[in-house]
Amino acid sequence: MSAPLAIPTLNDVAKAAGVSTATVSRCLNSPDRVIDSTRDRVMQAVHELGYSPNFGARAMASRRTNTIGAIIPTMENAIFARGIQAFQEELRQSGYTLLVASSSYREDIEEEQIRTLVSRGADGLLLIGHSRDPEIYKFLATQGVQALVAWSHNEGAKLHSIGFDNRAAMRTLTESVLEKGHRRIAVVSAKRTGNDRAQQRILGVMDAVAAAGMDSEATTIFETSYGIETGALAFDQLMALATPPTAVICGNDVLAVGAMKRARELGLIVPSDVSITGFDDIELARIVVPALTTVHVPHREMGTKAARILMDMVEGKSGGQTEKLDADVRLRGSLGPPADLS
């Protein structure tokens, strides 16, 4: 009466269909190597038993997993979502499964996640940015796991990468800000530790400041963790300075939106009282009022290309390649001339 509680295995299917396990395996993996009548019988047994292959066993026996892992700093806020979505779609078309993990912007968690994904058999890994313990690259090498960096371009780095030049893009954006006449600017950045995008973006701001002959000391840099609320708090602090900035350049759109929110709460009009800019051009940038001036990043293109490069690496078709994408400034309502010039 009581059903067998054990979960069905290949062996059970084989018995039920009256064939060997090899034949069942063939039905599942290369159906054309099996005669129709046999296959039908096997597939019926598969359905009747509710059989589902054991991935671990399969991976172990066949020595491949067709799995790619990606570790992103955060799943919240759409910064990485769109790119990862495209990455996944491209992988899927070629029969790969994507495993996504997030590191909460913490290096130690990222390392743990790398180990977890490798352990689970990822053939390749997509990582964000270049800064991490070199030890981990050695680990990936001994494990024979290919890795590619995205969201950051860097010719000389340990790993191949696909991304844009964060520094140059931020320099261009900052130049636009300076052209409007702003001379008191402040930067709200994500934590720079272990985050080369944040580092590069600040350097980009400084490049433009220096090129304009301004005193780089006069540019306040406020570092905070990632989030709308933290962006709002940073804005508070900046506006409380003796000589508050007329333009606040934020390291990403999320911080910028937080700043805009607080500006509104403080009764400040953007951009006439203060200009605010972002970086990433996520959907949010066009929802806020006024729309956010930011740097547009080709998320989907990056995701798609990353998938192709990484698959080629995993399949041994190439040793990888480094590619630079264009990121361009989108001027929108949140940037205007400073009050004393208007």
Partner DNA sequence: GCTGGCCATGTAAGCGCTTACATATGGATA
Partner DNA sequence: TATCCATATGTAAGCGCTTACATGGCCAGC
Contacting residues toward a copy of itself, per CB under 8 A: 5, 7-8, 49-50, 52-57, 59-60, 75-78, 81-82, 84-85, 97, 99-100, 115-116, 118-121, 138-139, 142-144, 228, 257, 261, 264, 283-284, 286-289
Identify which of 122, 201, 194, 125 has the alpha carbon closest to the alpha carbon of residue 168.
Answer: 201
Selected binder of DNA within 44, 47, 62, 93 (CB under 7 A): 62
The least CB distance from residue 146 to DNA, in Å, is: 18
Beta bridge partners of 294: 330
Euclidean distance between CA atoms 255 and 142, whole angstroms: 39
Q: Which does 35 bind (CB under 5 to 8 A by kind): DNA, a copy of itself, none?
A: DNA
By CB under 7 A, residue 54 contacts DNA: yes
Distance, CA of 210 to CA of 215 (rounded, Å): 7
> What does 242 interact with, of DNA, a copy of itself, none (CB < 5 to 8 A by kind)?
none
30 C-beta neighbours (distance < 10 Å), count:
9
Residues in contact with 138: Cβ distance below 8 Å, sequence separation at least 6, in sequence order: none
Choose the one of DNA, a copy of itself, none that binds residue 10, judging by a C-beta under 5 to 8 angstroms depending on kind. Answer: DNA
C-alpha 233, offset from chain centre: 25
**Site for DNA contains 20 (CB under 7 A):** yes
| Least CB distance to DNA at residue 316 (A) | 16
Q: Which of residues 210-239 bind DNA (CB under 7 A)?
A: none
Question: Is residue 7 at the binding interface for DNA, with CB under 7 A as the rule?
Answer: yes
Token code pair at residue 62: 């066949």
Taking the complex as a whole, the smallest distance from the CB of residue 52 to DNA amounts, in Å, to 7
When asked if residue 67 is in the footprint of DNA (CB under 7 A), the reply is no
C-alpha distances out from residue 5 to 1, 8, 49, 143, Å: 12, 9, 12, 37
CB closer to DNA out of 11 and 193: 11
28 touches DNA by CB under 7 A: yes
Which is nearer to a copy of itself, 169 or 284 (by Cβ)?
A: 284
Q: Which does 142 bind (CB under 5 to 8 A by kind): a copy of itself, DNA, none?
A: a copy of itself
Residue 34 interacts with DNA (CB under 7 A)?
yes
23 binding partner (options DNA, a copy of itself, none; Cβ < 5 to 8 Å by kind): DNA
Interacting residues toward DNA by CB under 7 A: 6-7, 9-11, 18-26, 28-29, 33-35, 37-39, 51, 53-54, 57-58, 60-63
